[in-house]
Amino acid sequence: MRAVLSIGSNMDDRVALLRSVFDEFAGQIVAASPVYATPPWGVENQDEFLNAVLIVEVEETPLGLLRRGQRLEAAAERKRIQKWGPRTLDVDIVDISSFTSTDPRLVVPHPYARERAFVLVPWLAADPDATLAGTPLDTLIADLDPEEVAAIRPLGPIEEL
């Protein structure tokens, strides 16, 4: 199955933490965005994030992919202390081809993806033809606050950071 993963970090060695996800999915990455510096979302009094999107082709089930992402977060010593607060590593499943779910463990497509420039801008860079629930990403981005979109700064490919 093909899945879109949004990854982010705003604690510790952010580049190394993102690289751990790239390494985990090496050989399964269909496309990847550059890494972006992004302002915090939800809770604003925290350090800026580094975010990227990976499009992967994997064999496991959606819940298996969720568990894989959670193992990466656990290896990064992710603590879920404050909703939208600081984190060492976040691995979110944004979309899975031909799959939707309202299961509280895994809601797909991600319920907030259409509202978040830090997801949509990197995803569009990784796949210019992508859609979310049938809507082109550039249309969704045009509906966001232009200042929020402008604050998303590309830093370059993970290999160059």
Q: Where are the domains of the chain?
A: 2-160
Tokens of 92: 């979110």
- Give 152's DSSP letter: -
Residue 25 CA to residue 10 CA, distance in Å, equals 21
Residues in the chain: 161
pLDDT score for 58:
98
Q: What residues in the chain have per-residue pLDDT under 70?
A: 80-82, 84-85
pLDDT score for 44:
76
- Give 5's DSSP letter: E
37 close to 153: Cβ distance less than 8 angstroms: yes
Average pLDDT of the chain, as a whole number: 94
0.85 cut: is pTM over it? yes
Alpha helices (H) in 1-160, listed in sequence order: 14-24, 62-75, 117-126, 137-142, 146-150
pLDDT score for 84:
65
- Whether domain 2-160 has CATH 3.30.70.560: yes
pLDDT score for 41:
78
Cα–Cα nearest to 113, from 158, 78, 143: 143
pLDDT score for 159:
95
